[in-house]
Amino acid sequence: MDVIITGLLLGGTYALIAMGLNLQYGMARIMNLANGEMLVAGGFVAFWLWTGSQISPLLTAFIVAPIAFLMNWLIYMVFLRPLVKRARSRGQLEVDSILTTFGLSFVAVGLMLALFGGDYFSYSYLSTPLNILGDTYGANRVAAFLAAVVICGLLWLWLSRSRTGMTIRAISVAPDSARLVGIDVRRTAALAFALGGAVTATGGTLISTFLTLDASTGVIFTLKALVIVIMGGVGDVRGTIVAALLLGLLETFVARLIDPGLTLAAAYLLFVVILLFRPQGLFGRPTT
């Protein structure tokens, strides 16, 4: 039982990170392989503010989100828009954006290494035990999970109800038709990209309350987020949440029952199975 709850708690935070990536890949059409570094940076800020001036990570999230939004918007405008402009085909844009975001990811790791060094960083926030259904869990995990649920919920509401949210979904489903009905696709894509970065960074702030991070762990989270996005279906919010919870459960099971060193291997196997049997995602329709 406690494995299931731990798994779900972890999966909730994963959902937030993967939502960020899905906004960037599904809506803005950029596979952002520097996504994990944004997460680590969000964690860094939380660590820094907590150890420096005892500011709660839950509050830090409100600082991190707008800064990350701005940074990602700038990244999109400076680095990615020129690529979108010059790309003659979807394939070329794909290759270019993969290389660029890899580059950005390495630059980010390099900068973080230079600024903070290569040490692991963790801090103790809300590490009091909390009793749920007879088992105890770290209060920080529960708090992070609840915050993730709230943010995911708000995001989902916003995407499905608000005008801007619907525009974003429109460009994900049919970018060409969206252009025809008067949507500024470029501006909307930049917005989706920036928002995705903000969501991921917030996820990093939350995850740093209970996981140990270091400057070079970003890529692992990028991989996990990618697995979730592909499993849930590109551009599919509901699928992302379900897939994130599944991955959280799977990792927790593997860590408890087999070996904690195999969590990424398990995520990878899951990815392979999805690719082989449902490349369109759990809820996706087969594409033609």
Partner 1 sequence: MSRLSARDWRNLVLVAMALGVTACLPWTAGAYMLSIGVTIAMYTVLATSWSLFSGPTHYISLATAAFFGVGTYVTGIGIQYLPYWTLLPIAGIIGAVMAALVGLATLRLSGVYFVIFTLGLAEFVRQIITWGQNISGTKGIYVLTSIGETHIYWQLLGLAALVWLLGWLIGRSRLGFALRIIGDDEAVARHSGIDTARAKILLFMVPGAVAAITGAILAPRYVYIEPSLAFSPMLSFQVVIMALLGGTGRLWGPLVGVIPFTFLWEAISVSFPNQTTLLLGVCFLVIVYLLPKGFVGLIDAAKKRMGAEGYA
Residues that bind partner 1 (CB under 8 A): 25, 31, 33, 79, 82-83, 91-92, 94-96, 98-100, 102-111, 113-114, 118, 216, 219, 223, 226-227, 230, 258-259, 261-262, 264-265, 268-269, 271-272, 275-276, 279
Distance CA(255)–CA(29), nearest Å, equals 34
Q: Which is nearer to partner 1, 66 or 110 (CB)?
A: 110
Among 31, 35, 21, 37, CA closest to 84: 31
- Least distance to partner 1 from the beta carbon of 103, Å? 3
Distance CA(92)–CA(107), nearest Å, equals 22
What 3 state SS string does 179-201 have? HHCCCCHHHHHHHHHHHHHHHHH
Distance CA(96)–CA(79), nearest Å, equals 10
- Least distance to partner 1 from the beta carbon of 265, Å? 4
Q: Which is nearer to partner 1, 118 or 153 (CB)?
A: 118
- Least distance to partner 1 from the beta carbon of 257, Å? 13
Q: Which is nearer to partner 1, 93 or 151 (CB)?
A: 93
Cα torsion through 185, 280, 233, 71, rounded to 10: -50
Q: What share of the chain is helix, strand, coil (3-state, %, to 5)?
A: 75, 5, 20
Q: Which is nearer to partner 1, 179 or 278 (CB)?
A: 278
Q: Which is nearer to partner 1, 103 or 153 (CB)?
A: 103
Q: Which is nearer to partner 1, 75 or 148 (CB)?
A: 75
- Least distance to partner 1 from the beta carbon of 100, Å? 5
Which residues, including other chains, have CB under 8 Å from residue 154's CB and lie 6 or more apart?
none
Q: Which is nearer to partner 1, 109 or 198 (CB)?
A: 109
List 213's β-bridge partners, or say none: 121
- Least distance to partner 1 from the beta carbon of 226, Å? 5
**Would you say 233 and 274 are in contact if contact means Cβ atoms under 8 Å apart?**
no
- Least distance to partner 1 from the beta carbon of 204, Å? 19
- Least distance to partner 1 from the beta carbon of 117, Å? 8
- Number of C-beta neighbours around residue 92 at 10 A: 12
Buried b (16+ CB within 10 A) or exposed e, 204-221: bbbbbbbbebbbbbbbbb
- Least distance to partner 1 from the beta carbon of 283, Å? 18
Among 74, 84, 64, CA closest to 104: 74
Q: Which is nearer to partner 1, 52 or 261 (CB)?
A: 261
